[in-house]
Amino acid sequence: MKTFARKRYPRGSGLPAWLLVAGLVCVLAGAAQQVAAQDVEELLTQVTEEYAVAYSSPFLYSFGPNANSNMYSTAHIPWSRLVLGFGVKVMGTELNESDQTFSKVIENVDLGAYDPDLAGQFGDVLMSGPTIFGSTSTNGRVQGFYNGIEVFNAETIPGLVDSRWSPLAAPEAYIGGIMGLKATVRYLPEVDTGDYGKTKYWGYGVQWNANGILKNLPVDIMAGFFTQELDVGDVYESTANTYFVAASKSFTLLTIYGGFATEDSEMDVNYEFIHPTDPNLNSEGSFTIDGVQDSRFTIGTTLDFLAKINVEAAFGNKLTTYSAGLMFGL
């Protein structure tokens, strides 16, 4: 049996708190977390495409629900009065415990793709270990079996941040008030996050209030859509889209709202796999992962006093996301 040693990476001293908001890096578990300060791309160079898919998937699973959260804090949009504002939205998606680890069996493959000395011998490969949100002190493992006997064993990579919570923050601005329309943008220019690479984030959407046509309704009715993109270095390119309808009821300082949305997300991953012993087995990795959540129900409340402060919970068909917003303006 052959065992391939993998390079171990030193743990960093943590990321600064401002990066939680300014960096918009979904792999952070919070400003106080101690995380591994290595480049995501450098980690992925050590694993094959099949491993990278399983390792990275929870990144996308949380990005889609986060990005598609807090699209509105009221269904009311004036038809003949200008409104505008700016602020920030923060979201957090609770991952399932099963999203922190993975185990995958690839059956009847040429073991020479993993160890050139085994070329032409077909067997099974077992991949297991922490995902990107798994243990930072435990390395993964790839094992090869020929006729049920282990013939190679390779240590791989640890998790990047050990947490079941994935946060996201988004600066946001809006303008509207003509014919019940409102346009919203989320944007952060390219930010260099050091070892994580350059990160950029943007999104836009439109909402329309129906009360200018449907008169004398007891609540405000609104429909809209939003599309967003988050890029992390040259490795991850993630997109999220949502279409939603919402209703709200306003009181003196308080608004209660709720809605239903359909959504989708996907992540393109591009990197280079570097074999630990044979450069001839190096390869370019490129694949797309689809999100797991496609709908949600949202309930929330907004306090309008000097600023608009809202909190909400979104119950998706797969994950639950909590979010809050602070907006200044009309």
Domain membership of residue 140 (yes or no) is no
Six-digit token string for 209? 């209030």
On the question of pLDDT at 76 being above 80, the answer is yes
Six-digit token string for 256? 């209660």
Domain membership of residue 8 (yes or no) is no
What is the DSSP-derived secondary structure letter of residue 20? H
Confidence of residue 169 (pLDDT cuts 50, 70, 90): confident
On the question of pLDDT at 19 being above 50, the answer is no
Domain membership of residue 191 (yes or no) is yes
**What range defines the domain where residue 30 resides?**
26-98+160-329
Domain membership of residue 149 (yes or no) is no
On the question of pLDDT at 6 being above 70, the answer is no
On the question of pLDDT at 255 being above 60, the answer is yes
Give the pLDDT confidence score for residue 284 in this predicted structure: 81
The predicted model scores a pTM of: 0.81
Domain membership of residue 86 (yes or no) is yes
Give the pLDDT confidence score for residue 16 in this predicted structure: 34
Give the pLDDT confidence score for residue 1 in this predicted structure: 53
Domain membership of residue 200 (yes or no) is yes
Among 107-111, 166-170, 194-198, the range of highest mean pLDDT? 107-111
Domain membership of residue 133 (yes or no) is no
Q: In the chain, how many domains are there?
A: 1
Residues 269-292, mean pLDDT to the nearest whole number = 83
Q: Any idea how long the chain is?
A: 330
Residues 227-238, mean pLDDT to the nearest whole number = 86
Residues 123-140, mean pLDDT to the nearest whole number = 94
User: How far is CA 247 from each of CA 60, 218, 296, rounded to the nearest angstrom?
Assistant: 29, 10, 15
Query: What is d(CA 226, CA 71) in angstroms, rounded to the nearest whole number?
Result: 8
By the 8 A CB rule, do 160 and 36 touch? yes
Domain membership of residue 20 (yes or no) is no
Mean of the per-residue pLDDT values of the chain: 84
